[in-house]
Structure 1
Amino acid sequence: MSSSIEDPGHGHSPAAWTAVVIMLVAVSLGTLFFVLDMPVLVWASAGLLVVGLIVGWVMAKAGYGAHSPKYAAKQH
């Protein structure tokens, strides 16, 4: 194996963590509301899922993505 392969940095940035946490909460709530037969709140959870995606994208564009200047990767 060569050590010259660069790590793409997937999931190691504040933008990725924030987006995943928001979307995880949205899916969890959506599942709960589906089981409780609350269709309006299921759709609200779907909207929150989209909000999580947008927040992650905005944070990445604001410099908190994996290869952005405001983010310094931790050495392993």
Structure 2
Amino acid sequence: MSSDVEELGEGHSPAAWTAVIVALVGIAIGTVAFVLDVQWLVWAAAGLTLVGFILGWALARAGYGVNGSRTQHKEH
């Protein structure tokens, strides 16, 4: 059965993976810092999480997003 609907790829791209991994590292560091009551590190981790999302956006704009010009397309 063939469909004319274009598959979006569900975010499987270098840009998405980079954004999620950097953000998760920031959240993990921030959680530990919050429990240990290290306020400056909580804010630094929040900044790292934000940097992760900005990095993902920038990589997507540079062609590393879903269906980007610099990504390899997989045939299913």
CA distance in 2, matches of 1:75, 1:67: 12
TM-score normalised according to structure 2 size = 0.88
| Structure 1 consecutive aligned stretches of length 4 or more whose deviation exceeds 2 Å | 1-6, 73-76
Question: What is the number of equivalent residue pairs in this alignment?
Answer: 76
Inter-partner Cα distance in structure 1 for 2:70 and 2:13: 10
Q: Equivalent residue for 1:74?
A: 74
| 1:58-69 equivalence runs, <5 A | 58-69=58-69
Aligned-partner SS, 2:74? coil
Q: Which runs of 5+ in 2 are unaligned?
A: none
CA distance in 2, matches of 1:73, 1:24: 26
Query: Structure 1-normalised TM-score?
Result: 0.88
AA in 2 matched with 1:36: L
CA offsets 1:34-57 (integer angstroms, 9 cap, x no match): 000101100000000110011101
Distance 1:37 1:59 in 2: 34
1:25-75 Cα distance to aligned partner (Å, 9 max, x none) = 000010000000101100000000110011101101111010211112323
Q: CA RMSD in A?
A: 1.5
